[in-house]
Amino acid sequence: MAVYTQVSAEAAQMLLDRYDVGRLVSMKGIAEGVENSNYLLETDRARFILTLYENRVDPADLPWFHDLLAHLHQAGSPVPRFIEDRGGHWLQDLASKKACLIEFLPGISVSEPLPEQARAVGAALAKMHVSVTGFEQQKPNRLGIDSWQALFDRCEHSAANKLSAGLSDDIAAELTWLVAQWPNNLPACAVHTDLFPDNVLFKGETLGGLIDFYFACTDFRAYDLAVTHAAWCFSADGSVFNQAISDALIGGYSDIVRLEESEIRLFLVLARGASMRFLLTRLFDWINTPPDAIVTRKDPLAFHRRLQFYRTAAADQLFGRR
Amino acid sequence: MAVYTQVSAEAAQMLLDRYDVGRLVSMKGIAEGVENSNYLLETDRARFILTLYENRVDPADLPWFHDLLAHLHQAGSPVPRFIEDRGGHWLQDLASKKACLIEFLPGISVSEPLPEQARAVGAALAKMHVSVTGFEQQKPNRLGIDSWQALFDRCEHSAANKLSAGLSDDIAAELTWLVAQWPNNLPACAVHTDLFPDNVLFKGETLGGLIDFYFACTDFRAYDLAVTHAAWCFSADGSVFNQAISDALIGGYSDIVRLEESEIRLFLVLARGASMRFLLTRLFDWINTPPDAIVTRKDPLAFHRRLQFYRTAAADQLFGRR
């Protein structure tokens, strides 16, 4: 959420000169998305996002992201395209980083979604899962279940317990349970796995854009719905579940994609896994970020509370079959 | 250069509802200016900067900044205005901070100015010094000469010497010299004192805006020119003086304001003081910012090198009277 690499206006203009996009008239570093540096560039013709890839995105994955977004755009999904320069190149070198010029999508991200907005998100996620049909390239989920034990091992357990008494043992037991319960043959496709409210742009109640695909990968489509459910259906601290938002999100999804029985039966396992994924990455960041750092540390317990909700929830109830 | 206080789109829209500025269609946190949180807000009618004041700006000073910018705007200077809500209020409370909605000025900041751009900056600074005639409110310079010894005392001297052998003694001697030489009755007015290239917006070679007045105060107008000179006329690391830029900047200024003999005679004292101000604030930040912090520490020695230049320069030469 900061600009790590400084780019001068002159360097940005030199980059833009390779494209047929007009002349630079305004440039602002923006605090957005995962740990990349982002600039909002305005030319006399349009606006763009200039992204420089920092540590968290592996440049080797960029072609996969490009191809996925091109595929989704062609299929009519509201996703930002990578812009090609006059030579047809969409990947550039800038300030010793890999960099891309990306379509700017207007719209605002809601913090307290209305049910109609949650329904639109569910529908957009389902449409995305339909749209990736025919996109055959695979990319493993680097933050999937196979990574969680190693991530947990890198967190000091005493620090976890300081955050909440017994947390370390609870995570260890949950990881064992998740590995035992995790399915291995649900329908899979290219998925977003990070569709939090700040990655969805609205124009009023109309969904105008899905952004920040840098955690996208190949995984179960029902896991993507589970992540989105965990992201949208609770108060920020995870303590209050919002039934109306949940009904709208799952309803919007189910209107487009009819989940299989096994996906519904295993949904709570996936949702517990989704909660674990964010609990662990937040725990790691919490323990390894100095408290006085400029970056706001996000509370890991907000996802421990979601995990506790999913432990006692009933899938039939979530899917309106109570 | 980051967003410290998170503002949701809903909270931003609630704020905008007090104004007659249209509905929010896009919102980006931007990395800009001193240690405030800034958002670029776009409504269906115009764009604005929403600033939340963090630690570095004293809210008690905000009325002075407001009145100065209103005065300058009325006099035709290209400065951003504070926007008033329907009740005539320009100062708001948002997320437990003081906040203002401010006019957005397009334009880009150059990193390697051309002489024509430096001439335009000199002229704009002089016009500003003329335009503040009649603006009688006073505001002391919190980072003026009276503050430097105390600021230096808060820097660990061994850390300064680690940066450059003998730096601590050199600063101490320079401070003594500056106090002895500093004038007390040069022409004074409201001045910017931070007119670095990133605070000037250009549309091509046309100067379109002067921004970031949060270090503005009442001080010698020639000190403001000295700060601007130190900011524009050197390579970033301070090692190379650019005569053409200097000639253009001072020429642009002198076309509008004819400095008095005493101001020219004392210009190098003021320029050494300007170098000391940035040397000390950078040194303080350098010593007190962890090396792995997300904020880029700026090299204090870049202004020690400028100080060394001004020690041996000739004012007559700078002012074209060699």
- Whether A2 is covered by a domain: the verdict is no
Over pLDDT 70: what percentage of chain B?
A: 96
Do B86 and B33 share a structural domain? Answer: yes
- Whether B2 is covered by a domain: the verdict is no
Domain boundary (A70, A103, A136) is at A103
Mean pLDDT of B56-81: 95
A292 Cβ contact list (under 8 Å, min separation 6): none
Do A127 and A95 share a structural domain? Answer: no
- Whether B153 is covered by a domain: the verdict is yes
Do A139 and A71 share a structural domain? Answer: no
Do A162 and A23 share a structural domain? Answer: no
Return the structure tokens found at A243.
């039934």
Q: Which residues of B touch A1 (CB under 8 A)?
A: 2-3, 29
CB B282 within 8 A of CB B303: yes
Nearest in space to A179 (alpha carbons), one of A136, A152, A149, A157: A149
User: For residues A1 and A38, which has the higher predicted lDDT (pLDDT)?
Assistant: A38
Q: What end-to-end distance do the CA atoms of chain A give, in Å?
A: 41
pTM recorded for the entire structure: 0.89
Do A186 and A59 share a structural domain? Answer: no
Do B156 and B86 share a structural domain? Answer: no
Return the structure tokens found at A204.
């009023």
- Whether A131 is covered by a domain: the verdict is yes
Residue B244 reports pLDDT greater than 80: yes
Domain boundary (A103, A128, A158) is at A103
Do B178 and B58 share a structural domain? Answer: no
CB B257 within 8 A of CB B130: yes
- Whether B80 is covered by a domain: the verdict is yes
A56 touches chain B (CB under 8 A): no
Domain boundary (B103, B138, B166) is at B103
A108 to chain B: nearest residue by CA? B26
Give the pLDDT band of residue B183 (cuts 50, 70, 90).
very high
Do B207 and B72 share a structural domain? Answer: no
Each residue of B113-167: pLDDT tens digit?
999 999 999 999 999 999 999 999 999 999 999 999 999 999 999 999 999 999 9
A314 touches chain B (CB under 8 A): no
Q: Of chain A residues 161-190, which have a CB less than 8 A from chain B?
A: none
Total tally of structural domains belonging to chain B = 2
B291 touches chain A (CB under 8 A): no
Strand partners, B102: B49, B82
ipTM confidence: 0.84
Do A60 and A171 share a structural domain? Answer: no
Do A136 and A62 share a structural domain? Answer: no
Q: Which H or E element spans position B39?
A: strand B37-43
Each residue of A111-158: pLDDT tens digit?
999 999 999 999 999 999 999 999 999 999 999 999 999 999 999 999
Range of the domain at A300: 115-318
Which CATH number does the domain housing residue B160 bear? 3.90.1200.10
